[in-house]
A and B are shown apart, each in its own frame.
Chain A
């Protein structure tokens, strides 16, 4: 059964870069029908899509975050990663990684448990 697990620092200082990794287990990140995405949720608020990546490295980002976001993939480790630069308190959120199936229809069908990241000095 496919599982996703986020990892990374839970505390990041303002103006620094947030870095998270999502490890995929129980299946291959190189499956042709899937993208892999990052979604975040500030405390008490709704969901915001950050961006997605295909195993080939093709990416697409939320335009509101595009200037600060880099998503990369390491197929040898079955992982994909998120970097968000110049963070502020507004970037404090639970960060989720998720699998996005793509074809005649699409949705995020498998999610990691999420990791809380706090931006504070």
Chain B
């Protein structure tokens, strides 16, 4: 089973700042099958990024994804008030098996 480790656990930033979230896999992951989600309290997760770098429909271009192999990054270029939330990475691998990372909370500083 591939384990996804997200860091940091919590990121304290101010609106307008840049957020960089990391997702590290215990073994190589196909970039095609790495996704990022945003979850706000009391809501279902929302797909942000799929295929490691493709934005889902309706997602603002301040969100970008990058990476390959075992290291992936979600970047929010300038935080808006509505971006403070928890972010999860997710991968699909062989077996088949899907796993999620433990999440990174982006909070207002």
Interface pick from B12-20, B29-37, B76-84: B29-37
Complex CA–CA separation, A46 to B88 (angstroms): 8
A interface: dominant SS: strand
Residue with the greatest number of chain B CB neighbours at <10 A, chosen from A105, A106, A107, A111: A107
Separation in Å of the B13 CB from the closest CB of chain A?
A: 21
Complex CA–CA separation, A46 to B50 (angstroms): 19
Complex CA–CA separation, A48 to B56 (angstroms): 21
Do A49 and B99 touch (CB < 8 A)?
yes
With a cutoff of 8 Å between Cβ atoms, the chain A residues found around residue B103 in the complex are 46-47
Complex CA–CA separation, A107 to B5 (angstroms): 18
List 10 extra interface pairs beyond A46-B100, A108-B45, CB under 8 A.
A47-B88, A49-B98, A60-B95, A63-B97, A106-B35, A106-B50, A107-B51, A108-B90, A111-B46, A114-B44
Separation in Å of the A65 CB from the closest CB of chain B?
A: 12
- Interface hits, B1-31 → A, CB 8 Å: 1
Separation in Å of the A53 CB from the closest CB of chain B?
A: 12
**Chain A residues within 8 Å of B, Cβ to Cβ:** 37, 39, 46-49, 52, 60, 62-63, 96, 98, 104-109, 111-114
Known contacts A49-B100, A105-B51; is-contact A111 B45 (Cβ 8 Å): yes
Count of chain B residues near A, Cβ 8 A: 26
Complex CA–CA separation, A109 to B57 (angstroms): 9
With a cutoff of 8 Å between Cβ atoms, the chain B residues found around residue A104 in the complex are 32, 51
With a cutoff of 8 Å between Cβ atoms, the chain A residues found around residue B37 in the complex are 47, 108
Do A108 and B97 touch (CB < 8 A)?
no
**Chain B residues within 8 Å of A, Cβ to Cβ:** 1, 32-33, 35, 37, 43-47, 50-51, 54, 56, 88, 90, 92, 95-103
With a cutoff of 8 Å between Cβ atoms, the chain A residues found around residue B99 in the complex are 49
Do B50 and A63 touch (CB < 8 A)?
no
Report which of A37, A48, A111 forms a contact with B44, defined as CB distance below 8 A: A111
Residue with the greatest number of chain B CB neighbours at <10 A, chosen from A37, A52, A105, A109: A105
Known contacts A52-B98, A63-B1; is-contact A106 B44 (Cβ 8 Å): no
Q: Which residue of A lies closest to B44 (CB)?
A: A111
17 examples of A-B residue contacts, CB within 8 angstroms: A37-B98, A39-B100, A46-B100, A47-B45, A47-B90, A48-B100, A49-B98, A60-B95, A60-B97, A96-B44, A98-B44, A105-B54, A107-B35, A108-B90, A111-B44, A112-B44, A113-B44
